[in-house]
Structures are given as C-alpha cells and as structure tokens.
Amino acid sequence: MTETRGTQGRESQSRWQGIESEHRALERVVERVEALLGRLAKGRAQPGEEVKAGGLVEELRGRLFEHLEAEETNRILEQAATVAPRFAEWVDRLLGEHDDLRAHTRALVAGTGSGDWTALHARFVEFRRVLRAHERAENEVVQRAYLEDIGGPG
C-alpha cells in the first residue's frame, strides 16, 4: 500500500529500540550467569555461589520469557514480514526458535540442581551462542525491513 509506505517502518523502528534495550539488559544477565557458572565449573567459586547460581539462572529464565512474550505480543517481527514479504519465512523461523529458547532455558534451570557445573557451563555457553545468533538475526530482519520500507535498497 503506497499511502502507508514508510509509516510501518518508522513505527517498527521506534518499537524496536525498546526491544533492543531489552536485548542489552538480557545480555548483561547472560554475562553474569556465564561468569558465575565459569567459576563454579573451575572450582573457583566463593562459598554460597552454588546457591546463587540457581537464583541467577531462574532470573535469566524469567527475563527471557518476558522478553520473548513481548516480542510475540507487539508483533514486531510479523510487521517486518508485512513490510517485506520476502522475509516471511525468515520471520516464521525466528518465531519458531522462541520455543526452543524457552526449552533450553528451562533445561538450564533444571541443571542448576544437578551440581554438575562443568556440564552446565558447557550447555550455557551453547545456549549463549544460540541466543546471540537469534537476536542478531532478529535485529537484521527488522533493520532490513525498515530500510526497505523507507525506500532504501531491498
């Protein structure tokens, strides 16, 4: 629709800034969890940190679930697909990854009860890789759809 050209992109762009600041807040928790699990895995943790790990991973789970729900509720990724229909499959795939991320995070929370910090740290490093790749892709699809909407190169 020619008359709305540009409008959806600008709206998406400003909503996306909120999502991006959530990505950065999540990343800070991810770094704290990574550091703590790393210390536990190497046997260099302070007394009490084993107990703290459970709470911190649960905090990450809670924040991530809220974040994913916000993205799903404000339909920002679907909007990118509306602006640039050739991204529709990409967006579907990214939204499908949300449930994988939820399952992965739940497994990490469960893992804090096992006491096998080496295994949990390794699983966390893998989770961090998957989460970062997911968020980079979300960022890319939204930014590219925005550029397309304002008439930039598609």
Q: Which residues contact Fe ion by CB under 5 A?
A: 135, 138
Nearer to Fe ion, 23 or 121 (CB): 23
Nearer to Fe ion, 52 or 128 (CB): 128
> Based on C-alpha coordinates, what's the Rg of the chain?
18
Structure tokens at 69: 């729900």
Query: What residues contact 74, with CB distance under 8 A and at least 6 apart?
Result: 15, 19
Nearest in space to 8 (alpha carbons), one of 72, 73, 84: 84
CB of 63 to Fe ion, least distance (A): 11
CB of 19 to Fe ion, least distance (A): 6
CB of 72 to Fe ion, least distance (A): 10
Nearer to Fe ion, 18 or 54 (CB): 18
